[in-house]
Structure 1
Amino acid sequence: MMENKSISDIIEAYLKEILGDSAQIEIRRSEIANHFDVVPSQINYVIKTRFTIQNGYLVKSKRGGGGYIRIERVNLLDNIDVLNSLIQTIGDSIRERDAFAIVQTLYDEKVITQREGDLMLVALAKQTLDVGDTDIEARLRARVLISLLNRLRYES
């Protein structure tokens, strides 16, 4: 059943299905757009929002006549460059939802156990970091998450 699924959800599922167990896929934006009868910018939106470094993907695109988009599944902790770009993406502050997405990806990729993930979520939760100022909370959350990621890096 496709009920309650947005076109973005359907396109995301389709791309993940194509990716399957492969490390990477190359797609033509226009072909995918034609397949789903949507504008190419819809494909860009899905890739930009669903295939992020936080979710364990690197995306490279080549424009022009033979243009393609490469979606590569990456292990967040095995690859130091990927971890560094993830930490750069986190930056000085991060929203709870984005931090939780990173923890979910670590769990999905079997980098952490469910128990470790639950502990990380508690440490990153709004309730835990509530100091009455959302900007300060987001900055604390980023520092905690980056510390956890660095710790994981040295354990694996």
Structure 2
Amino acid sequence: MPNNISDVIEQYLKRILEESDVGFIEIQRSELASLFHCVPSQINYVISTRFTMDHGYVVESKRGGGGYIRIRQVRLDPEHTLLQLLRDWGDEVTQSASEALIERLEREQWITGREAAMLQIMLRREVLSVELPLRDRLRARLLYTALQVLATYED
């Protein structure tokens, strides 16, 4: 059950994206704001925080008359491996970025629910109880190492 308007908007956008026959949706910020009785900046907030590349989405926008926001879901493929994705991130990964990536990997069935839960807990700031930026560096190394094992492990 959604907790707030941001959750409701997110779930709505994900649902219509799943139902899309063309693999993307185009929305108008003002129309969506009107539908949910909120300000357009609320729509901006949802899109900028919940439809990022970390979460597996590409967002394009065209401003002005007839402007739109296009949201497309992108999936990881063999050419863009897990490890390359992490290399692109660099030496530091925030907790929210790692959570988004782990949720994406589980959604795309690169990892199991059990593996996702273990990684999520292992990478929390409460577990990595060191100061920033060391904590984000440690999180990046742990995540990279765990995914390295998952990417090369064969049953």
Asked whether the two chains share a fold, i.e. TM above 0.5, the reply is yes
Instruction: Give the partner amino acid of 2:142.
Output: V
In structure 1, the residue matched to 2:93 is 94
Change in CA separation of 1:103 and 1:68 when aligned onto 2, cut-off 3 Å: same
More helix, by proportion: 1
What amino acid is aligned across from residue 76 of structure 2 in structure 1? Answer: L
The Cα of 1:35 is off from its aligned counterpart by 1.3
Q: 2: CA distance between counterparts of 1:34 and 1:77?
A: 37
The equivalent of 1:20 in structure 2 is: 18
CA, structure 1 residues 60+87, in 2 after alignment: closer, same or farther (shift >3 Å)?
Answer: farther
- Which residue of structure 2 aligns with residue 61 of structure 1? 61
C-alpha contact (below 8 Å) 1:93/1:138 kept by paired residues? yes
User: Alpha-carbon deviation of 1:140?
Assistant: 1.9
Shift of residue 82 of structure 1?
10
Consecutive unaligned residues of structure 1, counting only runs of 5 or more, are: none
- Matches of 1:119 and 1:82, distance apart in 2: 17
Distance in 2 of aligned mates of 1:83 and 1:68? 34
* Residues 30-78 of structure 1, C-alpha deviations (whole Å, 9 max, x = no match): 1111212222111111101111111111111111212111111111345
If the length of structure 2 is used for normalisation, what is the TM-score?
A: 0.76
Q: Report SS of the residue matched to 1:11.
A: helix
Alpha-carbon displacement from aligned partner over 1:93-125 (angstroms, at most 9, x marks no partner): 222233122112210221212243244335534
Of all paired residues, the percent bearing the same amino acid is 46
Deviates further, 96-105 or 9-18? 96-105
CA distance in 2, matches of 1:87, 1:58: 19
Q: In the alignment, which residue of structure 2 is the partner of 1:104? A: 103
Aligned length: 152
Q: Which residue of 1 aligns with 2:70?
A: 70
Q: For residues 152 and 143 of structure 1, what CA distance do their matches in structure 2 show?
A: 14
Q: TM-score, normalised by structure 1?
A: 0.76
Looking at structure 2, the residues matched to 29 and 79 of structure 1 have their Cα atoms a distance apart, in angstroms, of 34
Alignment check: 8 A CA contact 1:96 1:125 kept: yes
Give the whole-Å Cα distance in 2 for the aligned partners of 1:5 and 1:138.
Answer: 28
